[in-house]
Structure 1
Amino acid sequence: MSLNALSLDKEEVCLKGKRLYVYRPARLEDVFQGDPFLEAHRFPFWVMIWPASLALAEYLASLPPPLDILEIGAGLGIPSLFASAFGHRVLATDKEELPLKLLKRSAEEQGLELSVKTLDWINPNLEKKFDVIAGAEVVIKSSLFEPLFNLFKSYLKPEGHVILAHETERKRTLVPFLVKAEEHFKVETKLVRLKNEEKIIEIVLNRLTLK
């Protein structure tokens, strides 16, 4: 789908004293026709700005640059944008092309350098290893556990780390993932609280390093 065929909203995000914006579809019906409850597997969850992505963006922006960073399941790519703005070399990936087109436009208009690429976690085709592999709300079902572990082990530099961000309500899937992850990685956990309007949202940050 061409971006020219979409009505777009521009949404600003401010983190660590820096203000950036992302483009996203103004009308859901432009990118999804169907019942989101009956066809959840088709729903474009990338159209939303997830609180976990804000926590991940702040984490990446806090790392001393320059690092080679891979974002998986990037969607609108807020973590990638902020990582680039704070001096990192970024490859943003997603299984869908459309959010990557939006992300590329957001980056180019703001003078940010980053690369984008479609990525299938089951059959990844990346050309190098990374200091950091980052993802927000990516652990969504058990069938993806092993593909994620394999991706991490294949494309993480020996001294690098994986950083994952999820809302605590994902614990039904996240906890089994982390238990399984301990077979391959050292796992560290940190709880971050974000204020969203009048609500406090708890985000779990998990840092994985190779054993």
Structure 2
Amino acid sequence: MNLTQEIVKIRDRELVVVKPRDLDFYFQQEGQGLADFPFWAKIWEASLVLADFVATLEPSKRVLEIWAGLGLPGLAAAAFGHQVTLTDYEPRPLELIRRSAEVNGLEVRVARLDWFKPMDLGEFEVILGAEIVYAGRLFEPLLQIFRRYLLPGGEIYLAHSRERARVLVPFLKRAEVEFEVAHSLRRLRSGEEVYEIVLNRLRPKGF
């Protein structure tokens, strides 16, 4: 795997993220269609917004990042004093997360997680996810992940591009059966581009 490092500044900290050097190469190798593109291989704008938000949380909380990809929000949480477990289904992003944690001198737990066959990871005060809601067939497995891993009174923070509204809005309406859902819109500027990111907080009802 041909790798490079990207330095990302989160508040007053600089984090080194180990990632693939050539995304075009991975696109050609992974398959013939968009469904096979390795979305884990890119630092998405939503993960930058979520990482910045995580830096404002009071430490030290038990934090779980699901479908972490390159793991920026989870790495940021560890850098700001939280006890972090980062998960993904694919083995390659998990290996890159381990390398990033080592480069940054961070102690994190890294584990493979299948949403359809979740294993025992314990319970967490905070669950993080960036760009994880993308298909209706995943609504119930994702909610089951929340039920299994979130401590009573815990919080879930999700970040998605506003362009995902078509699938994100139905998911949040489904989640409102069990959770209190709060919304905020963040704007991230990169050069001449402005990205609109929806940040959601979910809290179990009754707490």
- Indicate the TM-score class for this superposition, using the shorter chain for normalisation: over 0.9
> Is the 1:72–1:93 contact (alpha carbons within 8 Å) kept by the matching residues of 2?
yes
Q: What letter is aligned with 2:184?
A: K
- For 1:127 and 1:49, how far apart are their aligned partners in 2? 25
Offset of residue 113 of structure 1: 0.7
Which of 173, 189, 192 is residue 195 of structure 1 equivalent to? 189
Question: Is 2:10 the partner of 1:15?
Answer: yes
The alignment status of 1:169 with 2:132, answered yes or no, reads: no
Paired letter, 1:9: T
> What's the counterpart of residue 45 of structure 1?
39
If the length of structure 1 is used for normalisation, what is the TM-score? 0.93
* Aligned twin of 1:128: 122
- Match for 2:15: what amino acid? L
- String of CA shifts for 1:108-160, please: whole Å, max 9, x gaps: 12111111111011111033110001100000100000001111011100010
Q: Which residue in the other structure is 1:150 paired with?
A: 144
TM-score under structure 2 length normalisation: 0.95
Q: Deviations over 1:20-73 (max 9, x none)?
A: 11111112365443587x522221001111000001101111101000000001
CA distance in 1, matches of 2:15, 2:121: 29
Q: Secondary structure at the match of 1:165?
A: strand
**4+ residue runs of structure 1 moved beyond 6 angstroms?**
none
Gapped regions of structure 2 (runs ≥ 5): none
User: In 2 relative to 1, CA 47–127 (structure 1 residues): closer, same or farther, beyond 3 Å?
Assistant: closer
The answer to whether the 8 A contact 2:19-2:70 is kept is yes
Following the alignment from structure 2 to structure 1, what is the Cα–Cα distance between the partners of residues 53 and 116? Answer: 27
Structure 1 vs Structure 2 CA RMSD: 1.4
Deviation of 1:184 after TM superposition, in Å, equals: 1.1
Report the residue type matching 2:28 in the other structure: Q
1:185 aligns with 2:179: yes
Q: Would the aligned equivalents of 2:16 and 2:103 in 1 still touch at CA under 8 Å?
A: no
Deviations 1:56-97 (A, max 9, x none): 101111101000000001001111111100000000000101
Whether the 8 Å contact between 1:162 and 1:209 is mirrored in structure 2 is yes
Is 1:82 equivalent to 2:68 in the alignment? no
73, 79, 91: which is aligned to 1:97? 91
Q: Percent identity?
A: 49
Aligned residues of 1:140 and 1:173 also touching (Cα < 8 A): yes
1:133 alignment partner AA: I
CA contact (8 A) 1:186 1:208 kept: yes
